[in-house]
Amino acid sequence: MTDRYAVIGNPIEQSKSPLIHTAFAQVCGQAIDYTKLLAPLGGFASAVDAFRAAGGRGMNVTAPFKLDAFAYATDLAPSAQMAGAVNAMKFEGDKVYAENFDGVGLVRDVVHNLSCPIQGRRILILGAGGATRGALMPIMDQQPAELVIVNRTVAKAEELAALALAHGAGSIPVGGIGYADLGAQTFDLVFNATSASLKTELPPLSASVFAQGCLAYDLTYGKGLTPFLQLAKQAGVTHLADGVGMLAEQAAEAFAWWRGVRPDTRAVIERLTVPLV
Ligand code: NDP
């Protein structure tokens, strides 16, 4: 029987995961069946139980079930523990192995695809939600010169800064602040990890944060030139990116984890790219 995988969420219609994993399977010569699974709110565990009972081998997890998957897993990888959320599961007998590949996907896109080192650079992350939490460990592992997390709700930025500091063993300066406290600081890489772009909104950010030669990266994808990227462009930033590469890279990590072979992501990124205009 063909090995079965799925992405679970609610809603799920918008998910690009079947397209991505089917393309990966084709180029890697792997016979897999990958579908979308709509689970009712409150019905995550029974939907996953049924999928496993029918022979399912693994799942991607999207909103709003990343915390349910965290609770459901029997074996949490450090990435999932740090993120406090799960975006990929692998089923082996009674075991449910769980990972969070979002952060590693982001870093791989930035360092490898966009050829933009994080090591030794000043990093600013806007937002202190699940995506930022997942990105902390992979970013700190790159040894930036400094990491600042800025958020509307300052307490959440402070909490994540404390987590990152603990992971970096105190050797890398980390701050968690509000937008008003950014002052005249400038950064080499600015990540918009807020959900503002989904609502065509702009976090209260000054255009002066972008240093010369800066990369402005919006984790939201498929929206073209978001208000954040527009601000960066108007400030003279020429290196702009959205989260399409992150999406493809986290999927490639999950595929490699399940199948033992890592697909090239270029064709998928090209196919899903919406021009930043
Ligand atoms: P969460 O809901 O967990 O967090 C949202 C964050 O955005 C919070 O920090 C919130 O601040 C902040 N926020 C929302 N609206 C505004 C606004 N108008 N101005 C300033 N801050 C705002 O979301 P996630 O962390 O899960 O996701 C964040 C983004 O990352 C989404 O756009 C998502 O699509 C994208 N993403 C992309 C992925 C990819 O593969 N490319 C993977 C995962 C996420 P507060 O705490 O004050 O409410």
**66 tagged catalytic:** yes
Ligand 1: which atom is nearest the Cα of residue 128? 9
Q: What is the pLDDT of residues 42-79, one digit of tens each?
A: 999 999 999 999 999 999 999 999 999 999 999 999 99
For ligand 1, atom 46, which residue shows the shortest CA distance? 153
Whether the model clears a pTM of 0.85, i.e. scores above it, the answer is yes
Any residues with CB less than 8 A from the CB of 191 and at least 6 apart, and which? 106, 123, 124, 125, 126, 135, 217, 218, 219
Pocket test for ligand 1, best of 195, 202, 217, 219 (most atoms within 8 A of CB): 195
Chain mean position to CA 171:
25
Quick one: pLDDT at residue 168? 81
Q: Which domains does the chain have, with CATH numbers?
A: 3-100 (3.40.50.10860), 103-244 (3.40.50.720)
Ligand 1 centre to CA of 221 (Å) is 12
Provide the residue type at 234 as one letter: Q
Distance in angstroms (rounded) separating the CA atoms of residues 96 and 49: 11
CA-to-CA dists, residue 69 to 48, 61, 96, 172, 196, angstroms: 9, 7, 9, 31, 25
User: H/E element holding 181?
Assistant: none
With the C-alpha atoms ordered 156, 118, 254, 224, is the resulting torsion angle positive or negative?
positive
Q: Cα Rg for the chain, rounded, in angstroms?
A: 19
Q: What is the pLDDT of residues 130-170, one digit of tens each?
A: 999 999 999 999 999 999 999 999 999 999 999 999 988 78
